[in-house]
A and B are shown apart, each in its own frame.
Chain A
């Protein structure tokens, strides 16, 4: 415990150096803008802006991206409330009550409620994170290749067991990501693999950023432009100090809901497939069933805003827990952060807590700070963010495309990757129209090289027997849970069949 405080105070010293502080504030502002823009969320911001972080050292880079992640979670609520269009998928549940409240002329109350709830959710989850991360990392330090591989299988299994997407398509997305990760020189034998049409650009492999920017930059813009129909109406918000104080007093009565949302969101966020979107929807559902007057939900109940908003911020911190301690990302955004660590020359996993304490604790401390700055900037500059909503897509879209092209070139300095990114973007868009989930592919291309290495090392340990994944206590337990999750959809299907037969017979 004492050790944690010591590390944390060292972390604060790192986070409050002028450069890092500037990065936190800058990241919050950028994140808030990205979150506020309809269609763009944390994952898009982090993917498109990751190449820009090559300018600063890894600690500064992760602090900046962490602040964007946080800011985007706050910002998502702004367009949900003012436009009735979720600023990001994580803020879908915020539209249910945020929009009606705004239409009643209380947009300011809704915005402040969202900001305060985000702050509570963020703070509680960072505290939980600080307490859980070091012990979990200690346990994970003992993990060998079989355990690492089992954990990755578990991460993929959550997409099947807990996801709501079409199962064959989810599997396909995972395998596709893993297969793309094998392109290039094989680490063990040094032989080139999957060099299609003998194009030399494939020799250096497919950088995960090429897929991530393709899908979350180019593909996302194509998708958003198609989805946005007609003119949007921005609600007017009255902002004054007196009204803010009144609103704050009323919001404080929803503290219980915020606490519920924070804890629920945090634990849902840890699971790779779940993350902030289902976390916020679940919190909304629980808040509704807990309420004395469930009928007022959907008509502008403050509880209906604070529940999802506290949950989505808590979930974003939750998803960082497995990323930092186990090297397994808890969300698409953290998958990109994990890939970023590899580019910055760090080895993700529990060893970070031993070898790179400044990086880990600098990040954790920066999350406390980012949370505080995000809430202040958010409430203080509400009018500025509302102005962003009026910015036409025809300005935003070309700028984002340009950032994608330049950012896609930067990591490998090869035009081949820019073309590949365009192809992934277009294909991703076409697949998304047919309900193919793409987040598993991004997770898989990041984890692919690690998964293959750990599997091959494990198999060498046991002379090629897959038994190694089952006869070690920790790996075995994880594998059994993973298999359970993989079979879960089958179980529910059989149960449905049986109950259907009972009712028909």
Chain B
């Protein structure tokens, strides 16, 4: 926990510096008749964040914030396991949306999670994995007319569009 506290503060400090650096590419001073330059607000916010990070690091050094005193591990093996089976497949699913589109990656993801993480029976898994994408399609594409990304599977949907429009 102690190491994590320091690392997080440093990461955030680097991010604050990045904001300040990016903001200073634009005028940060006073521009007559139009007020503060466009970079001013983000620049000073970045500076303020940096001050906070320094304060957090000082408190870490003096051990005055709870996480900097905690002896507990930031991630034990159980938390790691739960985090990885949650976040990594989610990232893979989002990545797959670019290739095979929403309507094929959603069922794959639901199949993985319900069947292999949850250990649910096939009928339930299949039901949710089929109903969710269909409901999503009807809601977004038909009712809201928001087209969700379909990757190379776009062509497969032309007959379905013809059906509705």
Q: Which residues of A pack against B, CB within 8 Å? A: 52, 54-55, 166, 168-169, 171-172, 175-176, 178-179, 182, 186, 188-189, 191, 193-196, 218, 221-222, 225-226, 392, 394-395, 397-399, 401-402, 405-406, 409-410, 413, 415, 418-419, 422, 426, 429-431, 433-436, 452, 455-457, 459-460, 464
B5 touches A410 (CB 8 A): no
If A410-B146, A464-B35 touch, does A218 touch B90 (CB 8 Å cutoff)?
Answer: yes
B109 touches A179 (CB 8 A): no
Asked if B130 is an interface residue, CB under 8 A from chain A, the answer is no
If A55-B143, A392-B118, A405-B93 touch, does A191 touch B149 (CB 8 Å cutoff)?
Answer: no
Q: Which of A193, A406, A452, A464 contacts B136 (CB 8 A)?
A: A406
The chain B residue sitting closest to A408, CB to CB, is: B94
Q: Which of B121-143 contact A (CB under 8 A)?
A: 124, 128, 132, 136, 139-140, 143
When A and B form their complex, what is the total count of cross-chain residue pairs whose Cβ atoms lie within 8 Å? 170
**Cα distance A452–B45 in the bound complex, in angstroms:** 11
Q: How many residues of B contact A (CB 8 A)?
A: 66
Contact with A along B45-63 (1 / 0, CB 8 A): 1101100110110010000
B98 touches A415 (CB 8 A): yes
A409 touches B41 (CB 8 A): no
B22 touches A194 (CB 8 A): yes
A395 touches B120 (CB 8 A): yes
Contact with A along B15-27 (1 / 0, CB 8 A): 0001100110010
B67 touches A435 (CB 8 A): yes
Q: List 5 A-B contacts (CB under 8 A).
A: A166-B65, A193-B23, A196-B18, A398-B113, A464-B30
The chain B residue sitting closest to A394, CB to CB, is: B118
Q: Which of B8, B41, B79 contacts A431 (CB 8 A)?
A: B8
A169 touches B56 (CB 8 A): yes
Asked if B4 is an interface residue, CB under 8 A from chain A, the answer is yes
If A226-B82, A402-B109, A405-B94 touch, does A415 touch B45 (CB 8 Å cutoff)?
Answer: no
Q: Which of A54, A186, A415, A433 contacts B97 (CB 8 A)?
A: A415
Given contacts A168-B55, A398-B114, A401-B109, list 20 more A-B pairs with CB under 8 A.
Answer: A168-B53, A175-B52, A182-B42, A186-B38, A188-B34, A189-B38, A193-B39, A193-B42, A222-B83, A222-B87, A394-B114, A394-B120, A395-B120, A397-B86, A398-B110, A406-B102, A415-B98, A415-B149, A460-B33, A460-B34
